[in-house]
A and B are shown apart, each in its own frame.
Chain A
Amino acid sequence: MKAAKHKNELLPGTLEMLVLKTLSIQPMHGYGIAQHLQVISADVLTIEEGSLYPALQRMLVKRWVSAEWKISANNRRARFYTLTSAGRKQLGVEESRFSQMFGAIMRVMKTT
């Protein structure tokens, strides 16, 4: 079965940046991250929720985030992810790269 097509697919590589940004606010569990992204983007960015977890594992391997099991607000056991200092640095890198790219795309789009 092929991956279902979404209307507003993320640009490749942006998922990790968005997760890093979200975690820079406060440690969160996976569901929390998904909800946050959906709410803040006013439902425009519907990430494929499943892909969030492999991405989190990749970031764990790179030590951008750390994880620990804690009790959630509704008293359930959940895995919370925290941004590490390496992750914060990476966020800066990704942000500047993105704005560079975004600026470039906008310039192209504005030229008539």
Chain B
Amino acid sequence: MASLLRRLLFLFRRDRFDRDLQDELRFHEEMKAQSLAGGMSGADARAAARRRLGNPLRLREQSREPWTFPAVETFAQDVRHALRLLRRDPAFAFTALATLALGIGLNTAIFSVAYGVLWRPLPYAHPDRLVMLASTQRTERGVRTFWTWAPVTYDAMRARVTALDDLAAYSSNDAPLTGRGEPLQLHALDVSPNFFATLGVTPARGRAFLAGGATPDDDRSAIVSDRLWRTSLNADPAIVGQSVTIDGLPRTVVGVLPPDFSFRPVVPRLGALAEPDIFLLNRWPGDTGRSAFLFLLGRMKAGVTQERASAEVTALVNEPSIAPTSALAPEGTLAPNVRTLARAIGLQEYGTESVRALLLILLGAVSFVLLIACVNVANLQVARLTARRGELSVRMALGAGSRRIVRQLLTEAVVLSLLGASLGVLLAWLTIGAALPLVPAGVLPRPGGIVVDGRVMAFCLGLSLLASVLVGLVPALRISGSAVGEGRALHAGDARTTGDRQGERLRALLVAAQIAMTLVLLIGAGLLMHSFVRLTSVSPGFESSGRDGVLQIVKVQLPPHLYAEPDRIHAFARGVLERIQSLPGVTSASLINSVPFGLMFIQTDFDVEGQPKPTLFAGTPKIDAGYFATMGIPLLAGRDFTAGDTGTAPNVAIVSERVARECFPGGAGEALGRRVRLSDPGDWLTVVGVVADIRQRGLDQQVQPMIYVPFQQDRGGFIRFVSFVARTSTPASVAEGIRAEIRRAAPDLPIESTRTMEEAVSTSVAQPRFRMLLLALFAIAATLIATCGIYGLMAYAVAQRRREIGVRMALGAQRRDVLRLVLARALRVVAAGVLLGLGGAFGMTRVLQRFLFGVTPTDPIAFTLVTLALIAIGLTAAWMPARRATRIDPVAALRAE
């Protein structure tokens, strides 16, 4: 403490101290000179005395040292020096800062996304104890994972399980809100009464659902999100206790959630669904069916591991009394008599496998970009070091130790990278703000967690310190080497020392490393691009746009309370469709309940009359007449449905090519007149036509076997989903026309979505496109930086070898020879980098495997094209310095020495 005070006080008497010391030393020097004066002249004696005393500056610093904070002082000095140097060389400052800011900024941005999505603790009490339950079955068809459970299993499991404090269930079901302005389709979550207790969340207003006890809630209560409360409910402070109409039924609002509450239901393989607007108390009481539609969310008891919870749940689900096998899996996919394994998966990890892989790959990619950036700045530093040799030699001659010089260089690097980091954080913040809205829906399960906060800043700071070590160490190591030793560089004509050649070799090595890393990134991007081209050139089997225009789709969902009778649904659909068909601009129109590239797809097993049961599952869309013509799906045999295929007419079906091929070998015509039976509802249907295959669920999916059924002949629950499809060349006005027709027929019906088929197809490839664009962006950034690296290396080399080139030209070398000389050097560096990069790429592109469609991780096309492109870019970057070399005037170059 006393020493701190002393050191602080010293700051005020430093000038006095320096003066005193100077006087003292002068006195010493004069006395010494007098005593030596016997044998030499006065001036010689003084010089000798001064030599004996040593370097006065160094003496002053050493004398001050006990009084001050030497480390702080020299650091401050070095920082000032570094800033001065940066100001003096704006071109260098700009290049280095821009490169570092780009590298650090991209890393910070991706890290904040990865942290927010993968690692930031979920906003619930003890989030590490929350688990989702899933089950897997190993059958001869492979391992199948089921994420949903039947209500009977849930009830039995909840009663018996001991490893969990609580087990909640939810299921995502959108529902219309009416009676409050424009009818609105809400994202609704059906939940068990203990849902919020399991999460450990209390509503901001009102209360959570009551479970059990004396007066459990009836199933007419609802809890709304803060967003819904603020928008559609006008932030009514007295909302608790009021009634809202959901799905045509009154629901009592018992609570409003806090503004920061967030729960995005994640559906594995589909992504994250939207945040629910409203939570409805379970709508499945009394459901004893075999259909599994509930997601189970459990809270483990304190101290229970996921392994123990999994083991217990596994034991439970294999007890027939708890989970009759028929209730385990979604309809039609169960395999009886097979042991089921249950798993408890942390809520945080649940459903993030694919995004986790993506984010880790992106983190890897941006760290490559940062490394490349650091190499560039290190290279610039090495080059500058050679230019600064004079300065450094003078400093060493004046008494700076080599450790002191190394420290100064490291400080310069720290200053540089901290400045770069501040710009980088700014860049990251701007990027995240601008880019998050562009991320396709469903990619990121928890976008709410993505913010640039203290933790992200700490990461960025750590990164910049790492960068400064990388940037500062290389030149610093060179100092301890020979280049600037012992004042040698004070000699003129220092451009040809061996030290310099070493420097050049080091720089060439660094540039080769840069090229290697760039190549790995470029090949990664190239693979995704080639894969994307493959994916988008797959034909979906229908014409999303054609000669007669595009396909416009408008989707509605008919609520059961208004449309309980199938006849009412049929009447509504037929009535609206007829009006749509006569809208101006509509070439043809029809309807379907499960439109291709939509979320809904129902498949079922089926029988063929007179044959053993096929192992196929078939999609069973309900369509109206004219659907195939409207969609542009070719009819291969037989006839289309007609207006005559009504509920009273004989039951008919149209099968897709794949069903025909597998069940009726011998040609499409073979299928006509045969009979098939869907497991639900179980009537025999006569096949009247065969149509071409389509891809129902996405371009990267297999074609689905399909059995089409007339909409008017189906009386099941799935016909309440109606998508009107119209072929038109004026989609916008037709969409408005269709919406108007729907509103006219059913004023209280919210319109779920309006989009063209092209948009639907494009949305289905949004994720691969996004991945490709991101990686391409990083690869391009890396390429730009590496190009600067090559250019800098060659430009510098040419400047250094002016004299040599001059001599060569004086001895008769042609311009062509000079060009070849320079380009050959560049090619050597590029080739070394490319070889290294190819090796790395072969090893590393495997991580992209799961994101590739139709190409292998060692796809020869991507590898070849990208490599050639990079070599071309490298040589182009070297071309300019090479051209400059040919213009060297030998006479001038030689005279300049």
A residues within 8 Å of B by Cβ?
1, 29-31, 34-35, 48-51, 53-54, 56-58, 60-61, 69, 72, 76-79
In the complex, B746 has a CB within 8 A of chain A: no
Q: How far is the CA of A32 from the CA of B120 in the complex (A)?
A: 70
Task: Write out, one digit per residue, whether chain B residues 60-76 have a CB within 8 A of any chain A CB (1) or not (0).
Answer: 00111111000000000
Q: How far is the CA of A31 from the CA of B397 in the complex (A)?
A: 26
**Top 10 A-B pairs, shortest CB-CB distance:** A50-B54, A54-B62, A61-B66, A57-B63, A31-B28, A31-B31, A54-B63, A58-B66, A50-B53, A50-B59
Q: How far is the CA of A51 from the CA of B28 in the complex (A)?
A: 13
In the complex, B94 has a CB within 8 A of chain A: no
**Cβ B63 vs Cβ A30 within 8 A:** no
- In the complex, how many angstroms separate the beta carbon of B815 from the nearest chain A beta carbon? 47
Task: Say yes or no: A53-B25 contact (C-beta < 8 A), given A1-B399, A1-B487.
Answer: yes
In the complex, B835 has a CB within 8 A of chain A: no
For A31, list chain B residues within 8 Å (CB). Answer: 27-28, 31-32
In the complex, B52 has a CB within 8 A of chain A: yes
Across the interface, B65 reaches (CB within 8 A) one of A49, A54, A78, namely A54
**Cβ B53 vs Cβ A49 within 8 A:** yes
Task: Say yes or no: A34-B63 contact (C-beta < 8 A), given A49-B53, A50-B54, A77-B23.
Answer: no
**Cβ A76 vs Cβ B27 within 8 A:** yes
Task: Say yes or no: A49-B54 contact (C-beta < 8 A), given A31-B28, A78-B27, A79-B20.
Answer: yes
For A76, list chain B residues within 8 Å (CB). Answer: 27, 30
Q: How far is the CA of A31 from the CA of B28 in the complex (A)?
A: 5
In the complex, B396 has a CB within 8 A of chain A: yes
- In the complex, how many angstroms separate the beta carbon of A2 from the nearest chain B beta carbon? 8
Q: How far is the CA of A109 from the CA of B30 in the complex (A)?
A: 42
In the complex, B679 has a CB within 8 A of chain A: no
**Cβ A53 vs Cβ B59 within 8 A:** yes
For B64, list chain A residues within 8 Å (CB). Answer: 57
In the complex, B6 has a CB within 8 A of chain A: yes
Q: How far is the CA of A69 from the CA of B28 in the complex (A)?
A: 14
Q: How far is the CA of A45 from the CA of B30 in the complex (A)?
A: 21
For B25, list chain A residues within 8 Å (CB). Answer: 53
Q: How far is the CA of A50 from the CA of B32 in the complex (A)?
A: 12
Q: How far is the CA of A72 from the CA of B31 in the complex (A)?
A: 11
A-B contact pairs, 12 of them (CB 8 A): A1-B397, A49-B53, A50-B54, A50-B55, A51-B54, A54-B66, A58-B66, A76-B30, A77-B23, A78-B24, A79-B20, A79-B27
Q: How far is the CA of A69 from the CA of B16 in the complex (A)?
A: 13
**Cβ B28 vs Cβ A30 within 8 A:** yes
- In the complex, how many angstroms separate the beta carbon of B887 from the nearest chain A beta carbon? 43
Task: Say yes or no: A30-B52 contact (C-beta < 8 A), given A1-B399, A54-B63.
Answer: no
Give the contact-size bracket for chain B: 20 to 34
For A78, list chain B residues within 8 Å (CB). Answer: 24, 27
Q: How far is the CA of A54 from the CA of B27 in the complex (A)?
A: 16
For B55, list chain A residues within 8 Å (CB). Answer: 1, 50
Closest residue of B by beta carbon distance from A56: B63
B residues within 8 Å of A by Cβ?
6, 20-21, 23-25, 27-28, 30-32, 35, 52-55, 58-59, 62-67, 396-397, 399, 486-487
- In the complex, how many angstroms separate the beta carbon of B64 from the nearest chain A beta carbon? 8
Closest residue of A by beta carbon distance from B17: A57
* Interface of A: prevailing SS: helix
For A72, list chain B residues within 8 Å (CB). Answer: 27
**Which one of B23, B35, B58, B66 has the greatest number of beta carbons of chain A within 10 Å?**
B66
**Cβ B28 vs Cβ A49 within 8 A:** yes
For A34, list chain B residues within 8 Å (CB). Answer: 28
For B35, list chain A residues within 8 Å (CB). Answer: 35
**Cβ B66 vs Cβ A49 within 8 A:** no
Q: How far is the CA of A34 from the CA of B28 in the complex (A)?
A: 9
Q: How far is the CA of A21 from the CA of B486 in the complex (A)?
A: 38
Closest residue of A by beta carbon distance from B30: A76
Q: How far is the CA of A109 from the CA of B396 in the complex (A)?
A: 40
Across the interface, B21 reaches (CB within 8 A) one of A53, A58, A77, namely A53
For A69, list chain B residues within 8 Å (CB). Answer: 20
**Cβ B59 vs Cβ A54 within 8 A:** yes
**Cβ B28 vs Cβ A57 within 8 A:** no
Task: Say yes or no: A29-B52 contact (C-beta < 8 A), given A49-B32, A54-B63.
Answer: no
**Cβ A57 vs Cβ B66 within 8 A:** yes
For B486, list chain A residues within 8 Å (CB). Answer: 1
Q: How far is the CA of A51 from the CA of B25 in the complex (A)?
A: 11
**Cβ A30 vs Cβ B487 within 8 A:** no
Q: How far is the CA of A49 from the CA of B866 in the complex (A)?
A: 67
- In the complex, how many angstroms separate the beta carbon of A46 from the nearest chain B beta carbon? 9
For B67, list chain A residues within 8 Å (CB). Answer: 57, 61
- In the complex, how many angstroms separate the beta carbon of B473 from the nearest chain A beta carbon? 23
Q: How far is the CA of A107 from the CA of B32 in the complex (A)?
A: 39
For B53, list chain A residues within 8 Å (CB). Answer: 49-50
- In the complex, how many angstroms separate the beta carbon of B26 from the nearest chain A beta carbon? 10
Closest residue of B by beta carbon distance from A60: B66
Q: How far is the CA of A72 from the CA of B30 in the complex (A)?
A: 13
For B397, list chain A residues within 8 Å (CB). Answer: 1
Closest residue of B by beta carbon distance from A53: B63
Q: How far is the CA of A29 from the CA of B28 in the complex (A)?
A: 9
Q: How far is the CA of A111 from the CA of B523 in the complex (A)?
A: 73
For A53, list chain B residues within 8 Å (CB). Answer: 21, 24-25, 59, 62-63
- In the complex, how many angstroms separate the beta carbon of A90 from the nearest chain B beta carbon? 15
Closest residue of B by beta carbon distance from A50: B54
For A50, list chain B residues within 8 Å (CB). Answer: 52-55, 58-59
- In the complex, how many angstroms separate the beta carbon of A22 from the nearest chain B beta carbon? 15
Closest residue of A by beta carbon distance from B29: A31
- In the complex, how many angstroms separate the beta carbon of B35 from the nearest chain A beta carbon? 8
- In the complex, how many angstroms separate the beta carbon of A12 from the nearest chain B beta carbon? 15
